[in-house]
Amino acid sequence: MSRRDIVVGLALLAALLAVPALDPSRYIIGQLTLFFIWATIVTQWNLVLGVAGIFSLAQTALFAFGGYVTGMIGLYFGWPLWFALPVGGLAAVAFSLLIGVACLRLRGAYVALLTLAISQVMYLLIITDTECFYMDGVTCRNLTGGTRGLTKYGDFGFREILGAQWILGNYYLGAAILALATLASFIIIRSPLGMAFRALRDNQVYARSRGISRFKYQLLVFAVSAFFTGLAGGFYAGHFKVMGANTLYLSLSLFLLSMVIVGGVGRVWGPLAGAATLMIADEAFKEFVEYRNLGIGAVMVLFVMLLPKGIAGTIEDTLLPRFKRAPKGEGQETG
Amino acid sequence: MAGKIRTPSDIARETLENAGRRRFFGKAAAMGVGGLAGSAALLASINDGAKAQGEPIKVGGAVPITGWAAADGIEFQRGLEFACEDINAMGGILGRPLEPVFEDTKEQGADNLIPAIQRLIDRHGVHAIINGYNTGAVCAEYDTVADAGILYIHHNTDIVHHDTVKNNAERYFGIFMGDPAEYWYGEGLLKFLNGLGEKGLWTRPNDKIAIVTGSQNYSVVIAGAIRDNAEKYGWKTSLFETVVVPISEWGPTLAKIREDPPAVIAVTHWVPQDLAQFMIQFVPQPTDSLVYMQYGPSLAAFREIGKEAVNGVLYSTVVASLQDEFGNAYNNRYKEKYGASASPLVAAQPYDSCSYWAIAGALAGGTGGPGEEAQNRKVASRLRNMIYRGTLGTTRWFIPEQAATPYPDATNDPSLGMPHQYLQIEDHTKVPGLIAPSPYETATFKMPPWIKA
C-alpha cells in the first residue's frame, strides 16, 4: 500500500465520519448509507472481476445470500443481528466456495453464464416459495419470505440507544463495513496474492511452472470477496428491515457492474469512484424523472467511450503523471 | 331523514343547509366536481368561502414513475394532481392550496421506496404522503414516516399492514391503507362463486378449483388465500401452479387444466398481456370452467390483445372507481383531462385518499409538516372516525388496523365498506359490466361463450 493510498484512504474516511457533524438531512445520511452498501459490493466485485479476472455475475447472489441468512437467523433463532451479521458473511463464503468449485474451472463467458444462472435460480427459488412455513395471524409465511420478502427479524438496536438519531448508528456501521472491505481489497491487490494474479496474467505458463495455481488463488479471492459482500447483505437486511427477491433483480446487478466499469476495472479506488459517480448521476436525474434511465444510460455510454480506463484509471494513467512521475510499481495495478 | 341511512353526502348537505351556505355547494356543483359531491360540500363549508392562496401545503407522492409499474405510477401521479386541483378549487385546506410533489420509486422495494419517502420529507417538507401501491417494502417505510410524524396513506393491498399498525398503533398513528388487504380476494371469490350458485345463475359441474398464480407477492398471497379458504366454502383445490412471469406460453399449465377440468380456473397473475395470452390459448380448446382473473382484465390492453377470446372472463378488484353517479362523473372528467386512454380507476386511489385527508385536515384545524406530530395526530384522529363516500365507494377503517373495510367480505352493509367489485367482460369492445356486489351492479352474470352446456 503506497503512502498516497493511505493518505487518500484516511482523508476519505475522515470526511465520511465528519459528515454527520455538518447536520445533513436524514435523506443525505440515508443515501450515504446506501452508498456504503453498494460500494462494499462493488469493491469486492472489482476484486473478483478486475483483479482475479473471474467474469462472475454472482455478486448480488452472494449479497442476497448473506442478507437472507442474517435475516433468517434473526427471525427463526431469535439471534440479535449483531451476531447474525458475521454468520451471514461466513455463510456467503461457504456459498461462494460451492459456486467457485462449480465455476472456476470454466473460463470467460461460461463463468458469466453459470454465475448468472445461479443468481437467477436463487431468485426463482425465492419467488416460487409458496409453501406455508408458519402462520402469522391470518397470513401464511414462507420459509424465505417468498415474494413478500423476509421481515420481522429486528435491526441493530440503534433506536434504543440513539433514539431519533438511530440512523447515525447504521451510517457508522455501514461506513465501518466499507472501510474494512476496502482495506481487505487493498491488502489483496498489494499482497503476494495480487502479484500472483499479475503473474498469471502476464505469463501463465511461467507462473504455473513456479507453482502458482490459478484455481486455488481464484477460489481464495472469491471467498474473501464473498465475506464482505455477505456482510453488506446482512447490513442491508438490518438497515432496511426487509430482505426481498428484488435484491436479485438483473437491473440491480447491471447497475452495480456499471459502477465497477465507470470507476475503472481493477483499480483500487475505482469502485468507490464508480459507485459515487453513478449514485450522484442518479440523484441528479431525479429532477428529470422521465429521462432518468436515459440519463444514466448516457452517462455510462460517455464513460465507456471517453474514459475506457474508468475514472480511477484515467486519473492514475493520464492526469497524475502530468503532475508527477509515478513511482515504479504504482498506478495501474492489474493491467 | 328518518328511516334512511344518512350518507356522508347527506350529512354534508345538511351541515351546509343549516349553516345557510348554499352558495358553496352551488359553486361546487357548478364546477361539476363529480366524485367530490359529498366532500365538496363538507370541505367547502369548512373552508367558509376562503380562496386557496398563501403558502401551499405540500403533499407527496412516492410513485413508480419509471420501472415495471410505470403505467400505474403515472396514473397515481395524475390522480393526486387531479385531487389537489379539485380541492384547491374549493379553497384548499382552510384557505391554503395543496401542491403535489413526487419522487420516483423505480423498481420499488425498500431500497427505492424509503429514500423516495425520506426525500419528500426532507426536501419538500410534505404534510402527507399519498401513494398508490409500492411492492416489496413490506411496511419497512413506516418508521421513516413515523419518525417525521406525518400522515401516510397508501394502497399496497398488503395484509402485513394490519398486524404492523395494530401492534404499534401509537407509533404508526398516521399510517393508513386506503384499500382492503389482498387477503380478502380469497374469501371474496369463494363467497362470490357460491353466491352465483345460490342465485341459480350457474351450476358448478364439480367442486374443483384450479389456481394459477404468478410469481409476484400480490398474486401469490391472493392464490394462497383462495387455497387456504377453499375447503371452508366447499371447494377442492385441484391444481396450484406457480408460473414465472412474464409469461406468454401457457401450454404446460393449460395441459394440466385440461387433464383434470375444474369448475373454476382462478388466475391470480395480473399482467394484462400475459392474461390475454392465457385466454387466446385457452379458448380454442376450453374446459367447462369459469375463468376468474386478477386486475389485468380491468386494463384496456387485456381486451385489445385478447379480443373475442376474453369475452366471458370474470375479474375482481377491491379498489377501483365505481360505475355510479360519483364514479362516472369522476371517470368522465378524468378522461376529459388526460385523454381516452387514461385509466381513472387506478388514479382513483390517491384521488379519494387526498380528498378525505384534506377534509380531516380541515376538520382538525389544519395539517402539520414534518415534526408537527401533535397536529397530525389530530388529523389522524379525524380521519380514523370518518366514513367517506367517494369514487371508490365507502372508505371506513378497521380500527386499530387503519385499513379500509371490504364489502361484502367483512361487512354486509354497503355504506360501511369499500365494494369488492366483480366484473365480467361481455363484449371486448365495451366497458366490462359490474355484476356484484349489490347495490352497485350495472350488469348481470352471463354464462361465458365457451361453456356450451
- Stretch 279-308 of chain A: residues touching chain B, C-beta under 8 Å: 286, 289-290, 292-293
Q: Residue A124 above 90 pLDDT?
A: no
The 3-state DSSP composition of chain A as helix, strand, coil percent (nearest 5) reads 75, 0, 25
End-to-end CA distance of chain B: 49
Who among A30, A137, A289 is closest to B163 (CB)? A137
- The per-residue pLDDT for range B377-388, each reduced to its tens digit, is 999 999 999 999
Instruction: Give A128-131's long-range contacts (Cβ < 8 A, gap of 24+).
Output: A128/B215, A128/B242, A128/B244, A130/B213, A130/B220, A130/B223, A130/B224, A130/B240, A130/B242
Residue A73 has pLDDT above 80, yes or no: yes
Domain ranges of chain A: 23-247, 249-335
Q: Are A25 and B136 a contacting pair at CB < 8 A?
A: no
Rounded mean pLDDT for each run of 10 residues along chain B, 453 residues in total: 37 41 39 50 81 90 89 94 95 95 89 90 95 88 95 93 94 97 90 94 96 82 88 95 86 97 95 93 97 88 94 95 92 94 91 96 96 97 95 96 95 95 95 94 96 79
Given an 8 Å threshold on Cβ–Cβ distance, is B217 in contact with A146? yes
Residues within 8 A of B (CB atoms), A 129-148 only: 130, 132, 136-140, 146-148
- pTM comes to 0.80
Q: A241, B109: Cβ pair inside 8 Å?
A: no
Residue A332, classified by CB atoms within 10 Å of its CB into exposed (0-12), middle (13-18) or buried (19+), is: middle
> B162 touching A, CB under 8 A?
yes
pLDDT at A335 over 50: no
Pairing of strands B403-404, B236-242: unpaired
Cβ distance B215 to A293 less than 8 Å, yes or no, reads no
Strands (E), B57-121: 57-63, 98-104
- Residue B63 burial by CB count (10 A; 0-12/13-18/19+): exposed, middle or buried? buried
pLDDT at B85: 96
Q: Which residues of A touch B110 (CB under 8 A)?
A: 149, 240-242, 244
Q: Does B213 touch chain A (CB under 8 A)?
A: yes
Measured CA to CA, the distance from residue A327 to residue B104 in angstroms comes to 47
- Cis peptide leading into residue B100 (ω within 30°): no
Residues of chain A contacting B137 with CB distance shorter than 8 Å: 149, 242
- What value of ipTM does the predicted structure carry? 0.73
CA distance A119 to A246: 12
pLDDT of B9 reads: 38
Interface of B with A in 179-208 (CB under 8 A): 183
Q: Is B215 on the interface with A (CB under 8 A)?
A: yes
Question: Touching check for A318 and chain B: CB below 8 Å?
Answer: no
Judging contacts by C-beta atoms under 8 Å, the chain B residues touching residue A132 are 224, 228
- Classified as helix, coil or strand, B172 is coil
CA angle B268/B443/B200 to nearest 5° reads 80
Most confident of A101-110, A259-268, B373-382: B373-382
Q: Are B210 and B266 in contact (CB under 8 A)?
A: yes
Q: Whole-number mean pLDDT of chain A?
A: 88
For B:128-147, CB contacts with A below 8 A are: 136-140, 143, 147
Q: Closest partner residue to A289 among B66, B122, B136, by Cβ? A: B66
Burial of B250 (0-12, 13-18, 19+ CB in 10 A): buried
As given in the structure block, the three cell numbers for residue A323 are: 503532475
pLDDT of residue B45: 83
pLDDT tens track for A34-44: 999 999 999 99
Q: Is there a contact between A99 and A58 (Cβ–Cβ < 8 Å)?
A: yes
Q: How many percent of chain A have pLDDT more than 90? A: 49
Is A6 in the B-facing interface, judged by CB distances under 8 Å?
no
- Separation of alpha carbons A125 and A147, rounded Å: 10
Neighbours of B34 (CB within 10 A): 20
Residue A242 Cα, gap to closest chain B Cα (Å): 6
Q: Give the mutation candidate from B139, B159, B160, B182 for the A interface (greatest A CB count, under 10 A).
A: B160
Nearest CA in chain B to A251: B107
Please name which of B157, B163, B161 lies closest in space to residue B186, comparing C-alpha atoms. B157
- Could you give the angle at the alpha carbon of A159 between the alpha carbons of A155 and A165, nearest 5°? 125
pLDDT band at A297 (very low <50, low <70, confident <90, very high): confident
Q: A159 or B245: whose pLDDT is higher?
A: A159
Interface of A with B in 70-109 (CB under 8 A): none
Single out the residue of B396, B379, B346 nearest to residue B63, CA to CA.
B346
Return the pLDDT at A147.
77
Q: What pLDDT, on the 0 to 100 scale, is given for residue A190? A: 82
Residue B397 confidence (pLDDT): 97
Q: Which domains does chain B have, with CATH numbers?
A: 8-182+322-415 (3.40.50.2300), 183-317+420-436 (3.40.50.2300)
| Cβ-based neighbour number of residue B436 at 10 Å | 24
> Which residues 42-71 on chain B approach chain A with CB closer than 8 angstroms?
65-66
Residue A201 binned pLDDT confidence (cut-offs 50, 70, 90): confident
A209 and chain B in contact, CB less than 8 A:
no
Cβ neighbors of A287 (< 8 A, separation 6 or more) are none
Which range has the worst mean pLDDT, A189-203, A210-224, B436-450? A189-203
Q: Does B114 touch chain A (CB under 8 A)?
A: yes
CB B298 within 8 A of CB B264: no
From A152's Cα to the closest Cα of chain B, the distance in A is 10
Beta carbons of B228 and B186 less than 8 angstroms apart: yes
Contacts of A287 in chain B (CB under 8 A): none
The Cα–Cα gap between B231 and A111 comes to 48
Establish, for the pair of chains A and B, how many residue pairs have beta carbons separated by less than 8 Å: 114
Residue A78, min C-alpha distance to chain B (Å): 19
